[in-house]
Amino acid sequence: MNPIVKILIVDDEYHIREGIRTSVPWSRIGIGGIDEAADGMQALERYERQRPDIVLLDINIPKMDGMEVARRIRKAGGTARIIFLTGYDDFPKAKEAIALHATDYLVKPVEYAELVSAVERACEQIMADRRTVLRIDQMKRQMEGFKAAAAERLLIDWLEHRRTFEEIEAVAAEFGIERGKSRLYGFLCADIDGYEQRIAGAADRDRQLYLFAYRKIAQEVLHDTASGCGGSVLSLSSGKLLLLVYCDVPAGARSALSSAEPLMPALARRLQDAYKTYLRWSVSIGMSEWSGDVRSLGELYADAIQAVNYRSVVGCGAIIPASMVEPSGAIRQRLMNKELFLLEELNAGTELRSAASWNRWLEELSALPLADAKLVASQFAVNALRLGKEAADEAAVPDEAAAIPGHIAACQTMQDLIGHLNGLIDSVAHRLRSARSPAASKIVEQAKRWIRERLHEEISLQAVADALHVNPYYLSRLFRQATNETYLEYTTRLRFERARELLVHTQLKMHEIAERVGFKDANYFSIAFKKFEGVNPTEYRKRYQ
């Protein structure tokens, strides 16, 4: 929306000022601020205070004539559109008015239409000037954006080993990467979970706004890091952001790396919390190690990207340390068959904690280096949690799976790791036992009754779950198991069964039937009914009533 145009009316005769103020249709022309002055000195004072866009200026006024007022306005850099009023058709004054870039020079008595036309022309010129300034500002911002994008592209080229550091050294310094500086570097790679469903299908303008917010939030979170730390946010692809993080450390300090280690996970958690709070998005984050060697940044960059791509294994919403991503082939081969056997036993209801096979597996796991054991444990834990999907709380499983890398990474000893696995197995076993209880079928029957009683309403899975005090994903899974239909399929079938009854056994109008089966729009009801039954409601009524 354009700012209002302001005008200053300068004339020593009150009735002329008042006549102009009350007769001109200011709002229609586009003017919203009107001020007055009765002499030259007052005109300059009002101009300095109000900075009007248009000055309607009588030449013959006391204390300082209009020409001098205009000269002083121009000398001070004022750009207001000046419309001169004069009682004489004075050519020298008209010539000076042109030199002062006057918009118009009107001779009194001024015709009403002539005055309005002059003010309209001045307004049009002002709006044209504003549009020009806006275009120039937009071009400047675009150029700055192009420059920033080019710098990001150069840095990524170096990280991907397509350029030498010497080629991009000046650009790297803009991002805080400097050789010889006592500084640790690391990367976070954030990726929107379900990007295609959340954003890719949105209108172009909406998508651009979402992606702007996505990057802006990352910049703000990064800006609020601990003192001595900083970094930059780079765009890798539509759903992926790279956070280059650095932390200044005392030269030669042996404890620098250990003191910096908690900063990266803390930053990743704050980033996830911000996205959940402001955008309600789940975001997976890959996390590299720290390094003080600029030459190793390419490897750290690749590690962070590889870690976030491991989301397909651990589930969405995870913070995934790079150290937990790459298993050795020998380890994988040695333990894979045993893992599968243990998972089968767990699914069959075996008390795994007391089974000899579980204890032997833990012994073999304990013989590995802690880093390798953590990796194997994370893969097993994710698969164990996924066993609960068929009969347990489906929503909790991805959240827990996403948290596994962080929990396991926090284990400092083999004893911590084994304790964590034992607790996890107890939790999964309890979930499986609970899901197979008779209470599950009771929940489904309650849901069916609740739906039947509210077919005239817009009823969602969330509403049913809230009414029964259960998780909607859990209810969805139970419903599918008990009915061989999804919640939506069941509800839709029930609506049209009720619609068929009402069409055949009542004389209700079509819009009344639509309302009773949960459709607010009768036309949409008719289209949906035909799609479901093969004929429209009117034809169905004629055929069976």
Which helix H or strand E contains 86, and what residues bound it?
strand 81-86
Burial 108-118 (b: 16+ CB within 10 A, else e): eebeeeebbeb
**How long a stretch of residues is the chain?**
545
> Selecting from 3.40.920.10, 3.40.710.10, 1.10.10.60, 3.40.50.150, what CATH number does the domain 439-544 have?
1.10.10.60
Q: Give alpha helix (H) positions in 290-437.
A: 297-309, 311-314, 329-347, 356-366, 370-386, 396-409, 414-435
110 DSSP 8-state letter: P
Segment (H or E) for 123? helix 112-159
Q: Which of 191, 319, 213 is nearest to 267 (CA)?
A: 319
Cross-strand partners of 33: 6
> What pLDDT, on the 0 to 100 scale, is given for residue 273?
93
- Cα torsion at 143, 148, 150, 155 (round to 10°)? 170
Question: Could you give the C-alpha distances from 263 to 230, 257, 519, in angstroms and in order?
Answer: 11, 10, 53
- Indicate the CATH number of 5-132 among 2.160.20.10, 3.40.50.2300, 3.20.20.70, 3.90.580.10: 3.40.50.2300
In the block, residue with structure tokens 């030259």 = 40
CATH of segment(s) 175-323? 3.30.70.270
Hey, how many other C-beta atoms are within 10 angstroms of the C-beta on 53?
24
The full DSSP string for 265-293 is HHHHHHHHHHHHHHT---EEEEE---BS-
- Three-class DSSP category at 212: helix
- Residues near 246 by Cβ (< 8 Å), separated by ≥ 6? 176, 177, 183, 184, 185, 186, 229, 230, 231
What pLDDT is recorded for position 185? 94
Distance CA 233, CA 134 (A): 28
Residue 130 carries which side chain, given as an amino acid letter?
R
Q: What is the rounded distance in angstroms from the CA atom of residue 504 to the CA atom of residue 497?
A: 11
What residues contact 54, with CB distance under 8 A and at least 6 apart?
5, 6, 7, 8, 31, 80, 81, 82, 83, 103, 119, 122, 123, 126
The residue extents of the domains of the chain are: 5-132, 175-323, 327-436, 439-544
| Contact of 475 with 465, CB cutoff 8 Å | yes
Q: What is the pLDDT of residue 187?
A: 95
**Alpha-helix runs per DSSP H in 183-281:** 195, 204-223, 256-260, 263-278
Residue 218: the pLDDT is: 93
Alpha-carbon distance of 500 to 506, in angstroms, equals 10
Nearest residue to 411 via CA among 387, 383, 381 = 381
In this predicted structure, what is the pLDDT of residue 312?
66
pLDDT of residue 395: 43
Q: Residue type for 247, please? A: C
Which tokens sit at 433?
């036992």
Q: Kindly report whether the peptide bond that precedes residue 109 is cis, defined as omega within 30 degrees of 0.
A: yes
81-86 β-sheet, strand order: 31-37, 5-10, 54-58, 81-86, 104-107
- What integer pLDDT is reported at residue 423 of this predicted model? 87
Residues linked to residue 105 through DSSP beta bridges, in sequence order:
84
DSSP annotation of 421 reads: H
Q: Who contacts 352 (Cβ-Cβ below 8 Å, separation ≥6)? A: 342, 345, 346, 358, 425, 429
Instruction: Report how far residue 465's alpha carbon sits from residue 480's, in angstroms, rounded to the nearest whole number.
Output: 14
Locate tokens 């050795």: which residue?
A: 328
Contact 39, 57 (CB under 8 A): no
Tens place of pLDDT per residue across the chain (545 aa)? 456 889 899 998 888 888 888 888 888 888 888 899 999 899 999 999 889 999 988 888 899 888 888 888 888 888 888 888 877 666 566 666 677 777 788 888 888 888 888 888 888 888 888 888 888 888 877 777 677 788 888 999 999 888 899 988 998 999 999 988 889 999 999 999 888 777 766 777 788 888 889 999 999 999 887 667 889 999 887 789 999 999 888 766 556 677 778 888 999 999 999 999 998 889 999 999 999 999 999 999 988 988 888 776 667 888 888 877 655 444 455 555 577 677 767 766 667 777 777 888 888 888 888 877 887 887 788 777 776 555 454 444 445 655 676 778 778 889 989 998 888 888 887 777 666 555 667 788 888 888 888 888 888 888 888 888 888 877 887 787 777 788 888 888 888 888 888 988 888 999 999 999 888 888 888 888 888 888 898 888 888 77
